[in-house]
A and B are shown apart, each in its own frame.
Chain A
Amino acid sequence: MKTRTTILLTLSILLSLSMVLSACAPQPAAPVDPEVIKETVVVEVEKQVEVLITPEPEPEGPVTISFWHGYNADVEAKYLDEVLIPEFEAANPNIKVQAVLMPYDQFRRKLLIALSGGTAPDLARVDILWVPELADQGALANMEETLADFDTYKDEFLAGPLSTNLYQGQHYGLPLDTNTRVLVYNKAMFAEAGIDSAPVTMDDFLTACEKIKALGEDKYCFADGGTYAWAVNPWIWSFGGDVTDAAVQTSSGVYNGSETVAAYQFLKDGVDNGYIHPGILGGGVDAWGGFATDTVAMLLEGPWFPPLFGSQFPDKEYGMALMPAGDGGSVSVVGGEDIVMFQQSQNKAAAETFMRYLLSEDVQLKLASTGQMPVLKSVIESDFVKNHEFFGIFLEQLKTAKARTPHPNWSQIEEVMTNTGSNILNDVVGVQEGLDLAVEQIDPLLVIPE
């Protein structure tokens, strides 16, 4: 009996304790008021008097804004922490910036959890593909409403990168940096195979591949890491095809249209003839390693390639050229990052100040020196960019480059594309049949429920 009473007693104590604790818990939310006051301090400096009158004067100090990013750790993030932020804080003594480097492939998950928990950062540098998804969730501040001078401000940016921020006709972010893929070719292998110049058209590309294959069974003309959109879309677009129609309403007749079929057929023939390294079938391939050891002749690469590849293989000679042109022209894929402000931000004004700082001509030019391609029209015209050793070819390619379908369900659509491409190249399904099946899966994903 005694033990039972003890257990009951313990249980009831535990229960009441947990109730007390849970009653305590919401209280940390109480200091919302001081925060609001703090905000007024920043927005309108003249009203400092107000703070002095409040019963519990908060020590007036700088507001801290958080900025999450995935800059690479050893160059870009270091530059941000050691040069850009100190400079900004010196110029804006009442704003402190807490920059948080996120491991890139965990970034999206971390953001989504933080959003669900109400602990999102003020600003984030996000992949251009995430903007529609985040905007669709209502997570992002509408730039057209947040920035008073948006109508004139937007004209300072390159149109292509700016358009990656569009969701239902409104801009939910601003471009921060941009990139695209161009053809990188192995000079030693081209010389050995007797190819004089980089292929300009798809026919040139095929001719080059025949010559490369003649060098040996283990020599490949081209390599890529898989059948995801980043790899496949340049081919689809250059053949004149696309994933959806221009209005992003349907993929029928487009993704299974004759142009897209031709693009996939081209890739499939490439794999069957041994021109394209089997790594594209899935599982990936160490394309850079193959390129360095003269087993792969051509790659599609972004502006990070010269510095990163060059530091390990400083003596390897390569050339860069535009994506080979097909019926649709020479069309590559736009990559890059946008900067977005979150609705949950308590310090939107301070966040805006930092955002404008990162997008200023001066900072864009500085970031360009770390390999980030600028997005401001004025910076593109600058001598630094014009005389840059490799930005030129990327800027040329960007003129025709396209962005992947801006849609909140994009990641699911891309999954369908990746699987379809893999099935086609692995001979699981015919080209037309595979794309027909894919269209059936993609079309329902394009419908956004109200």
Chain B
Amino acid sequence: MKINRKKMFKFLLFLLAAAGAVIMIFPFVWMVSNALKENVFVIEYPPKLIPDAPSFGNFVRAWTSNKFQLYFVNSAITAVTSTALTVLFSAMTAYSFARFKFRFKEFLFFTILLVLMVPDMITIIPKFQLVKTLGLRDSLWGLIVVYVAGGVSMNTFLLRGFFESLPKELEEAMLIDGGNYLTVFFRMILPLSKPALATVTIFSFMGNWDEFTWALTAIDNPLKRTLPIAIYSFQGQHGTEWGLVFAAMLIALVPIMVVFLSMQKYFVSGLTTGAFKG
């Protein structure tokens, strides 16, 4: 009886997980199936998952359409640079919060957390004025600076917990052997923190790659636009060719997949980072 009940429970769990997986994957499958249909202005109901005459025409059209490739490159430059800088700066900030003693430490950390709680939309006009005064409006640097500034707070919070969990003794040994804090940071802390860094990288890359509102606000020059704006522009005022939009979205998904898959092995172990201190 007992074993049976256990089996039943497991089976139930399996069913639940399967249902969850189907729910999660369905919109994606639907998107793929619509991307394979041409001339879709009206999404069919009930949804037909296997198109009658599948074709890659939408992908070709999206990829070769008006400056799409340029926008792809712009997005890549922006996302890679901001992600690299975000990871570097938040790791440094988090390390100093984790290891050094200085005045107002907790107050400063609290301030960083506070910034985290202000919705982005509220600060969009001040940000716009600031970036304009700095002469960074209408350039990819204007995006990068804002993305990095926005990303550092969350990631500092995430990484501090992880760094504090690393054994202090290792560090002390390194210092006694003649290393300074920079060597400790680059030679020991960073290599040991791969799971946490992978998590930070994935999340911040996703955020930077997909960001729409600020990119639209700060950039006027069509040659400096990023991919989300280009995709959004495929939506017409009166009718939208959804097949084309979905195809463009799928193309935009590739880099995220690449980043995710290449860091996946670290990712799962990194997810719980910062949940427990010490």
**Contacts from A to B (Cβ < 8 Å):** 3-4, 7, 22, 25-26, 28, 66, 70, 72-74, 77-78, 81, 98-104, 106, 110, 113-114, 116-119, 121, 286, 288-289, 292, 302, 304-305, 308-309, 311-313
Which of the segments B13-21, B127-135, B178-186, B255-263 contacts the partner chain?
B127-135
Mark each residue of chain B from 137 to 149: 1 if its CB lies under 8 Å from any CB of chain A, else 0: 1100000000000
Mark each residue of chain B from 54 to 76: 1 if its CB lies under 8 Å from any CB of chain A, else 0: 00000000000110000000000
B230-245 CB contacts (< 8 Å) to partner A: 232-239, 241, 244
Q: Determine whether the beta carbon of B220 is less than 8 Å from that of A100.
A: yes
- Residues on A with C-beta less than 8 A from B4 are none
Q: Determine whether the beta carbon of A4 is less than 8 Å from that of B217.
A: no
Q: Determine whether the beta carbon of B128 is less than 8 Å from that of A289.
A: no
**Contacts from B to A (Cβ < 8 Å):** 39-45, 65-66, 102-103, 124-125, 128-129, 132-135, 137-138, 216-217, 220-222, 229, 232-239, 241, 244
CA distance in complex: A77, B222 (Å):
12
Closest Cβ neighbor of A4 among chain B residues? B103
B contact patch SS: loop
Q: Determine whether the beta carbon of B239 is less than 8 Å from that of A308.
A: yes
Q: Determine whether the beta carbon of A289 is less than 8 Å from that of B42.
A: yes
Q: Determine whether the beta carbon of B132 is less than 8 Å from that of A103.
A: no
CA distance in complex: A81, B66 (Å):
9
- Residues on B with C-beta less than 8 A from A305 are 238
How close is A69's CB to chain B, nearest CB, in angstroms? 11
- Residues on A with C-beta less than 8 A from B138 are 119
CA distance in complex: A221, B103 (Å):
73
Q: List 15 A-B contacts (CB under 8 A).
A: A26-B133, A73-B234, A74-B65, A74-B234, A98-B222, A100-B222, A104-B236, A113-B124, A117-B125, A117-B129, A286-B43, A286-B45, A289-B44, A304-B238, A312-B40
Q: Determine whether the beta carbon of B66 is less than 8 Å from that of A99.
A: no
CA distance in complex: A98, B217 (Å):
17
- Residues on A with C-beta less than 8 A from B221 are 98, 100
CA distance in complex: A110, B216 (Å):
7
Q: Determine whether the beta carbon of A288 is less than 8 Å from that of B41.
A: yes
- Residues on B with C-beta less than 8 A from A66 are 220
- Residues on B with C-beta less than 8 A from A7 are 102-103
- Residues on A with C-beta less than 8 A from B129 are 117
Task: For the complex of A and B, list the 5 residue pairs with the smallest distance between their C-beta atoms, beginning with the closest.
Answer: A308-B239, A72-B236, A304-B238, A103-B232, A289-B42
Q: Determine whether the beta carbon of A73 is less than 8 Å from that of B103.
A: no
Q: Determine whether the beta carbon of A308 is less than 8 Å from that of B216.
A: no
**Beyond A74-B65, A98-B221, A288-B239: 8 further Cβ-contacts under 8 Å?**
A25-B133, A72-B237, A73-B234, A103-B233, A104-B236, A113-B128, A288-B42, A289-B43
CA distance in complex: A312, B220 (Å):
33
- Residues on B with C-beta less than 8 A from A116 are 125, 128
- Residues on A with C-beta less than 8 A from B216 are 103, 106, 110
Closest Cβ neighbor of A3 among chain B residues? B102
- Residues on A with C-beta less than 8 A from B102 are 3, 7
CA distance in complex: A374, B248 (Å):
32
Q: Determine whether the beta carbon of B238 is less than 8 Å from that of A103.
A: no
Q: Determine whether the beta carbon of A113 is less than 8 Å from that of B217.
A: yes
CA distance in complex: A102, B137 (Å):
17
Q: Determine whether the beta carbon of B41 is less than 8 Å from that of A309.
A: yes
Closest Cβ neighbor of B217 among chain A residues? A113
- Residues on A with C-beta less than 8 A from B65 are 73-74
- Residues on B with C-beta less than 8 A from A100 are 220-222
- Residues on B with C-beta less than 8 A from A118 are 132
Q: Determine whether the beta carbon of A101 is less than 8 Å from that of B233.
A: yes
Q: Determine whether the beta carbon of A121 is less than 8 Å from that of B220.
A: yes
- Residues on A with C-beta less than 8 A from B103 are 4, 7
- Residues on B with C-beta less than 8 A from A78 are 66
How close is A289's CB to chain B, nearest CB, in angstroms? 4
Interface centre among B44, B216, B233, B234 (most CB of A within 10 A): B233
Closest Cβ neighbor of A127 among chain B residues? B237
Q: Determine whether the beta carbon of B66 is less than 8 Å from that of A73.
A: yes
- Residues on A with C-beta less than 8 A from B128 are 113, 116-117
Q: Determine whether the beta carbon of B66 is less than 8 Å from that of A77.
A: yes
Choose among B42, B217, B222 the residue that contacts A312 (Cβ–Cβ < 8 A).
B42
CA distance in complex: A118, B131 (Å):
13
CA distance in complex: A286, B44 (Å):
9
- Residues on A with C-beta less than 8 A from B43 are 286, 289
- Residues on A with C-beta less than 8 A from B237 are 70, 72, 104
- Residues on A with C-beta less than 8 A from B44 are 289
Closest Cβ neighbor of A101 among chain B residues? B233
Q: Determine whether the beta carbon of A119 is less than 8 Å from that of B234.
A: no
Q: Determine whether the beta carbon of B233 is less than 8 Å from that of A312.
A: no
Choose among A99, A104, A289, A302 the residue that contacts B235 (Cβ–Cβ < 8 A).
A104
- Residues on B with C-beta less than 8 A from A121 are 220
How close is B229's CB to chain A, nearest CB, in angstroms? 7
Closest Cβ neighbor of A75 among chain B residues? B236
Interface centre among B42, B129, B216, B241 (most CB of A within 10 A): B42
How close is A207's CB to chain B, nearest CB, in angstroms? 29
CA distance in complex: A114, B132 (Å):
11
- Residues on B with C-beta less than 8 A from A101 are 222, 233
Q: Determine whether the beta carbon of B134 is less than 8 Å from that of A25.
A: yes
- Residues on B with C-beta less than 8 A from A81 are 66
CA distance in complex: A81, B237 (Å):
18
Closest Cβ neighbor of B234 among chain A residues? A73
Q: Do A113 and B125 form a contact, CB below 8 Å, given A289-B42, A289-B45, A312-B40?
A: yes
CA distance in complex: A3, B216 (Å):
44
CA distance in complex: A237, B241 (Å):
33
- Residues on A with C-beta less than 8 A from B124 are 113
How close is A286's CB to chain B, nearest CB, in angstroms? 6
- Residues on A with C-beta less than 8 A from B229 are 103
- Residues on A with C-beta less than 8 A from B45 are 286, 289
How close is A379's CB to chain B, nearest CB, in angstroms? 21
